[in-house]
């Protein structure tokens, strides 16, 4: 039996379908804000752990750039690299099929919780030496997702 690898986009589709199935009964017991908070915490914890796993191959900025390329598999993201140096990796996401997916599934307003918020937790799990800043996302109506990963200054 061969091992088949699924793309991150397909994995997010499966997770979102499962989440959508759970939403209705959960919203009978929780407010929407409570569900957002609980789901966000759980997904960020999973993202942090995924970052730890990804760091097993190396936890430097160059190693991280390889991880970013996996996020784009299957045309999931259209990325424009803005700066690629030894201490910084900045890029803009110009098209996001994750956002498209959540919209088609009727989960557009949940897209930030289901995907975007994970980015910060992932990099924290991946490396304490790399920080992330981002001022806008396509998911929230921005013109792009402006990622800036930078090595933190040693103190």
Report CA-CA distances (Å) from 115 to 33, 65, 72, 153: 17, 18, 14, 28
Report CA-CA distances (Å) from 140 to 71, 110, 115: 19, 10, 12
Residue 107 is predicted with a pLDDT of 96
Confidence of residue 13 (pLDDT cuts 50, 70, 90): very high
- Report the pLDDT averaged over residues 100-109: 96
For residue range 32-66, list pLDDT tens digits in order: 999 999 999 999 999 999 999 999 999 999 999 99
Q: What is the percentage of the chain residues whose pLDDT exceeds 70?
A: 96
Q: What is the percentage of the chain residues whose pLDDT exceeds 90?
A: 90
Residue carrying structure tokens 């990622």:
147
Q: Which CATH architecture is the domain 8-151 placed in? A: 2-Layer Sandwich (3.30)
Averaged pLDDT score across all residues of the chain: 94
Contacts of 88 (CB under 8 A, 6+ apart): 61, 148, 149, 150, 151
Cα–Cα distance, 83 to 11 (Å, whole number)? 29
Residue 153 clears pLDDT 90, i.e. is over it? no
């Amino acid at each position: 039996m061969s091992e088949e690898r699924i793309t991150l986009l397909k994995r997010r589709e499966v997770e979102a379908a499962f989440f959508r199935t759970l939403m209705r009964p959960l919203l009978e017991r929780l407010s929407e804000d409570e569900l957002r908070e609980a789901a966000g915490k759980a997904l960020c914890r999973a993202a942090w752990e995924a970052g730890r796993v990804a760091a097993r191959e190396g936890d430097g900025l160059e190693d991280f750039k390889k991880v970013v390329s996996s996020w784009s598999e299957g045309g999931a993201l259209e990325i424009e690299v803005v700066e690629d140096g030894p201490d910084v990796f900045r890029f803009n996401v110009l098209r996001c099929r994750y956002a498209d997916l959540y919209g088609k599934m009727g989960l557009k307003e949940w897209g930030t919780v289901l995907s975007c918020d994970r980015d910060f937790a992932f990099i924290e799990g991946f490396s304490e030496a790399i920080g992330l800043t981002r001022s806008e996302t396509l998911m929230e109506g921005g013109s792009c997702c402006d990622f800036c990963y930078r090595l933190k200054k040693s103190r």
